Amino acid sequence: MKILSLFLVACCLSPSVFSNEIVLKPKVGVKDYAPIIQEHLETLAKQGGGTLKVSYGNYPMLNQVHLTELNKSVIVTIKGINGQNNAKPFFYDTAATKNPHSFFVFQGNIGVPNLTVNILNIHIKGNNQPFTAAHPFVNKVFYTRAIACLNTNTVTIKNVDISNFYGDGIMLSQGMDTREKKFRVNKPIIADCKILNTWGWGPSDDSKDGIMLWQVNAPLVENCLIVNDVNVTKHKGRCGIVLEHNTENAIVRNNVVGGYDRNLHIECDFGGHLITKNTFKYSNNAVTLSYDCNQPISRKNDYRPIVIENNTFNYFDELSRIKSAQNDFGFISIHKKSFVLNGLKIRNNTFLTTKGKVKVKNTTDGVIGAKRYIWLGGQENVIIEQNVYK
């Protein structure tokens, strides 16, 4: 009987007692939820991790939340609960005159990743605005990310919407740029997300992307809509998706990416990527392979070929409508030839454009104004087969 009584009491207690769960609900009069969320996440981290369960509602965030300085392994989850019509919990700071800020920054220990992050089912909206000559942020460097996960073990971001943000939508990174494979975010997942009208532009070519992956092993980016609608924002973004510095074995699959200077940018990586079943649009620089990183030939066995297959590339001169210049390349372009790109496979893709002049060009000359479907820049040992050019 005593055991049964204890069982009945346990069943009636709040789940937070047993599952390290904290419930966040909107309250009248709260002007900034950042301090509240900060306190909740720190509480969960001290317990070894848990879930911040966010009820449907509106949550103004005037400052960033920054979880850092962890001395033990922690798993932290932010999980939104939908309202009517599947509306997500809404975090926002839309003050037009205020400098942009990050919303959620998770930072583990450098070199010893001890933090796992899960972010599920929320909407974040920033204060970016359509481009004008008086735009307050363009040509200024703001290192802001709607979501940043730094020096983490692994990350899962699903069903997250990010809109109207100036800077990076999502950034995953390990901070130790040693060219060693052991210091990387391992097997993160970004899936079923919408990153809309999130862009930035400045004098340095180093940030302001839809998704930035830096030193990441085997990431999956799948079923995402990453579109900067140039008809709305009046300006191209920098890159839609970036695979950079020691990133390896990425799967970029079944996404729609458009409205960036480069829709997919790959640089200083170890290769092995599968780029498949995506739609790239609003840019004739759809996939740019940039290899000017002085990779030593002695490590040639560390690199694996990249496969670009079964994608659709669309460009119908959309950027001319906002009078935005394009780089002098093509849908798929190689910035600099390298042994790293030996074995590159480009196959079964469909290229649709009103600007195509040369299907494949494999010289290093730069003819100003020429538009090409594939620009190899002198690269050898590339397999190009069964593509459709229209």
Supply the DSSP string of 34-50, one letter for each residue. HHHHHHHHHHHHHTTEE
| Interatomic CA distance for residues 377 and 389, integer angstroms | 19
- Mean pLDDT across 232-247: 94
Average pLDDT, the chain: 88
List, as one string, the DSSP characters of 55-109: -SSEEE-SS-EEE---SS-EEEEEEE---GGGPPPEEE---TTSPP--SEEEE-B
- Mean pLDDT across 334-351: 92
Grouping H, G, I as helix, E, B as strand and the rest as coil, residue 4 is helix
| H/E segment holding residue 19 | helix 16-19
Cβ neighbours for 328, distance < 8 A, ≥ 6 positions apart: 366, 367, 368, 369, 370
DSSP structural state of residue 378: T
| Interatomic CA distance for residues 172 and 182, integer angstroms | 15
Q: Which of 37-41, 235-239, 261-265, 318-322 has the lowest mean pLDDT?
A: 318-322
Chain segment 60-110, per-residue pLDDT in tens: 999 999 999 677 899 999 999 999 888 999 999 999 889 999 999 999 988
pLDDT above 90 covers a percentage of the chain that reads: 66
pLDDT confidence of residue 5: 39
| Interatomic CA distance for residues 47 and 33, integer angstroms | 22
- Mean pLDDT across 278-282: 97
pLDDT confidence of residue 19: 62
| Residue 75 vs residues 99, 101, 118, 174: alpha-carbon distances, Å | 31, 24, 8, 17
The answer to whether residue 362 scores a pLDDT higher than 80 is no
CA atoms within 13 A on the CB side of 235: 21
Q: Which of 174-183, 193-202, 228-237, 340-349 has the lowest mean pLDDT?
A: 174-183
* 8 A C-beta contact, residue 317 and residue 251: no
* 8 A C-beta contact, residue 214 and residue 178: no
pLDDT confidence of residue 292: 74
Output the pTM of the full model.
0.92
| Interatomic CA distance for residues 200 and 264, integer angstroms | 16
Residue 311: other Cβ atoms inside 10 A: 27
CA atoms within 13 A on the CB side of 265: 26
pLDDT confidence of residue 10: 35
Of 143, 131, 151, 122, residue with least CA distance to 58: 122
Query: Higher-confidence residue: 164 or 111?
Result: 164
> Buried b / exposed e across 124-147, counting CB within 10 Å, b at 16+?
bbbbbbebeeebebbeeebebbbb
Grouping H, G, I as helix, E, B as strand and the rest as coil, residue 319 is helix
Query: Higher-confidence residue: 132 or 177?
Result: 132
The answer to whether residue 12 scores a pLDDT higher than 50 is no
Query: Higher-confidence residue: 174 or 30?
Result: 30
Q: Which of 81-85, 100-104, 178-182, 245-249 has the lowest mean pLDDT?
A: 178-182
* 8 A C-beta contact, residue 193 and residue 91: no
Grouping H, G, I as helix, E, B as strand and the rest as coil, residue 253 is strand
Of 242, 256, 225, 325, residue with least CA distance to 289: 242
| Interatomic CA distance for residues 92 and 305, integer angstroms | 41
Chain segment 13-36, per-residue pLDDT in tens: 333 434 699 999 999 999 999 999
| Interatomic CA distance for residues 211 and 61, integer angstroms | 21
| H/E segment holding residue 244 | strand 237-244
* CATH of range 18-223; options 2.160.20, 1.10.3470, 1.20.1530, 2.60.40: 2.160.20
Grouping H, G, I as helix, E, B as strand and the rest as coil, residue 298 is helix
- Mean pLDDT across 302-314: 96
| Interatomic CA distance for residues 125 and 135, integer angstroms | 18
CA 199-202-204 angle, to 5 degrees, is 120
